[in-house]
């Protein structure tokens, strides 16, 4: 539980910090007055003021905000430094900067992973690289480095043999294990994992690692970021076509996943943070009022019309956007509860 909470705070805090920093820096660069730069919501834990801006950290790290003067044209007390008084192009830059930073962060994370931790490829050997705590394999007493010799008396020689031997069964399986110079039997009962739609025992194989140079690490980071973006856009397209929200996960689900990934080590957690950052960047660009994409859409309308939408129209679209987000949050939370409590 402690690891899950710590991992969730780290991941959410990092993504929110980078996203809000994008808005903050571009607002300052375009001459806007930022009254507060905040990470988190709820009770204020720490705050201090530098110049005209208050910097604060709040108790719930599920978001953040920049209090930019003049976001509400009817209450602009910053004159020409108010958001509403800046050119449409400047406001577009500020609105898009958060998502852009979420796209940039994975490039640095993946570069650091490749350069410092190396590039890992799965080993074909049937050797347990990581045994996850609380999972069937760990409960059966298996440890990192154990070699699986046989499943139910049938000898195996590759990691694929091991995976195929357990993925289709939720009945107990007898494993013959070699640990150092000792050979022993262990009974493991796989559990069905709804996300992968197969039975699992909670282990990962070993990997072979090589260390690329500076240029190759940068190239690999770009390639991996592009591949994940393509995969995400394709998955979102299919979800929209099927009108299905079954795969949506809310804060509870993401926190649970962060805790599970953290058990594998800090590098997998950084990979997870990069993946989630790209997800956040894409979702924030959806043309839904109250999201950055919705704000950008209203700015596009303003650019075409030559004048901004009326305050009443802006309030209406914001309210619609908030209702849509609340509905999505309710659906995601329902999915989280089903997964956590019922394993569905």
Please report the sign of the dihedral spanned by the C-alpha atoms of residue 270, residue 271, residue 275, residue 281: positive
Q: What is the DSSP letter of 115?
A: I
CA distances to 95, 96, 210, 220, 231 from 99, in Å: 8, 6, 32, 22, 18
Contact 148, 170 (CB under 8 A): no
The reply to whether 20 belongs to the active site is: yes
Contact 118, 210 (CB under 8 A): yes
Find residue 159's DSSP bridge partners: none
Question: Using alpha carbons only, what angle is made at residue 26 by residues 22 and 31, rounded to the nearest 5 degrees?
Answer: 150
d(Cα 281, Cα 277) in Å, to the nearest integer? 6
Which run of H or E residues covers position 64? strand 53-68
Q: Which of 96, 90, 103, 99 is nearest to 295 (CA)?
A: 96
Long-range contacts formed by 302-307: CB under 8 A, 24+ apart: 302/88, 303/88
Cα 179–chain centre separation:
36
Active-site residues: which are they? 20
């Amino acid at each position: 539980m402690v690891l899950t909470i710590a991992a969730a705070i780290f991941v959410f805090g990092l993504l929110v910090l980078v996203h809000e920093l994008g808005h903050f820096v571009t607002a300052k660069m375009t001459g806007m007055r930022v009254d507060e730069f905040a990470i988190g919501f709820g009770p204020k834990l720490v705050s201090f003021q530098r110049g005209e801006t208050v910097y604060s950290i709040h108790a719930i790290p599920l978001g953040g905000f920049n209090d930019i003067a003049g976001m509400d044209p009817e209450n602009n007390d910053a004159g020409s430094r108010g958001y509403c008084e800046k050119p449409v192009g400047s406001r577009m830059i500020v609105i898009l900067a958060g998502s852009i930073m979420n796209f940039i962060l994975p490039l640095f994370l993946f570069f650091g992973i490749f350069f410092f931790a190396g590039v890992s490829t799965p080993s074909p050997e049937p050797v347990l690289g990581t045994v996850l705590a609380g999972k069937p394999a760990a409960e059966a007493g298996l440890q990192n480095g154990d070699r699986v010799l046989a499943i139910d008396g049938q000898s195996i020689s590759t990691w694929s043999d091991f995976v195929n031997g357990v993925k289709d069964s939720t009945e107990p399986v007898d494993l013959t294990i070699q640990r150092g110079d000792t050979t022993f039997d262990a009974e493991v009962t796989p559990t069905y994992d709804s996300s992968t739609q197969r039975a699992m025992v909670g282990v990962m194989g070993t990997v072979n690692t090589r260390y690329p140079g500076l240029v190759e690490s940068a190239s690999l980071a770009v390639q991996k970021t592009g591949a994940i973006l393509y995969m995400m856009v394709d998955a979102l397209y299919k979800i929209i076509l099927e009108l299905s929200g079954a795969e949506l996960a809310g804060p509870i689900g993401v926190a649970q996943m962060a805790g599970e990934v953290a058990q594998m080590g800090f590098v997998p957690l950084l990979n997870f943070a990069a993946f989630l950052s790209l997800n956040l960047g894409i979702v924030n660009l959806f043309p839904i009022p109250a999201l950055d994409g919705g704000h950008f859409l209203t700015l596009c309308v303003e650019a075409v019309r030559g004048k901004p939408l009326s305050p009443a129209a802006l309030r209406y679209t914001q309210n619609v956007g908030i209702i849509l987000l609340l509905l999505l949050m309710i659906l995601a939370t329902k999915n989280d509860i089903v997964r956590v409590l019922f394993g569905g």
